[in-house]
Amino acid sequence: MNAPTETAGSGAGTGRRRFEMRLSVAQRGILVAIAIFAVMFMAYAWKQPGPLTANIVNTASNKGALLALVAMAQTLPVLVGGLDLSVGAIFVLANCLASTVVVGNPVSTTFGILAVLLVGLLCGTINGAIIVYGRLQPLIVTLAMGAVYFGISLALRPQPGGSVNFELADFMTNSTLAVPHSAILLLLVVLFIWIPYRRSVLGRAAYAIGSAEQAAYMSGVPIERAKILAFALSGLLAAIGGLLLTAITYSGAAKLSIANDYTLNSIGAVVIGGTSLFGGVGSAIGSIFGAFVMRTVGDLLIVFDINPVLQPLFVGIVLLVAVCMGSLRVLRIKNKLDLYR
C-alpha cells in the first residue's frame, strides 16, 4: 500500500532519483487543493465589486476556518479507515453548550471554554470506545451517536439564543494587520494538535491502521488506543469549531440542518484535500484547504449572481466530482479483479 508519508518525501534517494522532486500522494493532494483554492479565490477577488479589503478577507477566513476545523475533525477518523457522521452534531453541541457556559468574567469564561472542549473530547472518546470495544462499524455508530449528541444539544437550547463573552468573541473573529485571528487559530491547532499527533506513535499507528489493519495488528501497533485517540481528537477539533461558531454568531442554535450541512461539507473538504476515503493516506492540512475550497464555492455563487439556494446542489456536485476523480484509477487498473474486493 501507499507509505504513510507526509513529511518524509524529501528524504535522500539514491542515483538519479536524488534530483527528482518526489512528492507523496498526500503532498500532491495538498498542492492540488491549494491550487484549486487559489484559482477560485482569485476568481472571487476579481469578480467581486470593490477592492479586496481586510474586512472581506476576515469574513472569508472566519467562514472557512469554521469548516476547516470540522474538516480536520473528519480527517482523523477517515485516516484510520472510518467515517464520522457525528462531527456536525458534536460541532452543534459545542455551539449550544458554549452559548450557555462561555459567559461572564474571564475566570468563568475560561472554565466555560475548558468545559466545551472537554465535552467535545468526551463525545469523541465515547464514539471511539464504542467502535473499538464494541467492534462495530464507525459509520453506523457515529450516525446513531450523532442523533444522541444532537438530542442533547436540543435539550440545551430548545430555541436559538444564548449569549457569549463578547470580548472573547470579538477577539476570536477580528483581524490584526489584515491577518484574521481565525486563521491564527487554525495555525495554532495545526502546530499544537495536528503536528504533535502526526509525529506521535499513536498518530503513525493511525496511518498504519488505515493502510492495512491486519498487518498493523501483526506488527504490534497499538490499534485500540490509536483508534480511540483518533476519534477523541476528532471530537475535540469539532468542539473548537463549535466554539468559533459561537464567537461568530454570538448565540447557539440546535438545528439539524446545520449539523448535516457541516458533516456533508467536511467530507467534501476531506476528499478535495487529498485524503483517501479508504484510509491510510492524507493529511489534515489538505482538509483545511479543501474546506476553504468548499466555502469559496458558496461565495462564488453569490458574486456570479447564481441563486444562493442552489448551494447544496453545487456542494453535492463538487463532492460527486471529487469522488469520481478518485475513481479514475478504475481506468488504470490492468487486472479487472482488483476492482472487486
The residue ranges that bind another protein (CB under 8 A) are 83, 130, 134-137, 139-141, 143-148, 150-152, 154-155, 158, 213-214, 217, 223, 256, 264, 267-268, 271, 277-278, 307, 309-317, 319-320, 323-324, 326-327, 330, 336-337, 339-341
Cα 170 from Cα 224, distance rounded (Å): 40
Between 18 and 135, CB nearer to another protein: 135
Cα 4 from Cα 328, distance rounded (Å): 21
Give the nearest distance from C-beta 153 to another protein in angstroms: 9
Cα 300 from Cα 154, distance rounded (Å): 33
Between 177 and 337, CB nearer to another protein: 337
**Residue 2, burial from CB neighbour count under 10 angstroms (0-12, 13-18, 19+):** middle
Give the nearest distance from C-beta 310 to another protein in angstroms: 5
Give the nearest distance from C-beta 319 to another protein in angstroms: 4
**What is the sign, positive or negative, of the torsion defined by CA atoms of 204, 207, 212, 214?**
positive
Give the nearest distance from C-beta 155 to another protein in angstroms: 4
Are residues 120 and 231 in contact, defined by beta-carbon separation less than 8 angstroms?
no
Between 59 and 163, CB nearer to another protein: 163
Between 278 and 304, CB nearer to another protein: 278
Compute the chain's Rg from CA coordinates: 20
Give the nearest distance from C-beta 52 to another protein in angstroms: 29
Give the nearest distance from C-beta 268 to another protein in angstroms: 8
Nearest Cα to Cα of residue 320 among 259, 285, 268: 268
Between 51 and 134, CB nearer to another protein: 134
Between 165 and 263, CB nearer to another protein: 263
Q: Phi and psi at residue 78, in whole multiples of 5°? A: -65, -35
Collapsed DSSP state (helix, strand, coil) of residue 252: strand
Give the nearest distance from C-beta 50 to another protein in angstroms: 28
All three cell numbers of 135, joined, read: 467492534
Between 54 and 139, CB nearer to another protein: 139
Are residues 52 and 178 in contact, defined by beta-carbon separation less than 8 angstroms?
no
81-117: b (≥16 Cβ within 10 Å) or e: bbbbbbbbbbbbbbbbbbbbbbbeeeeebeebbebbb
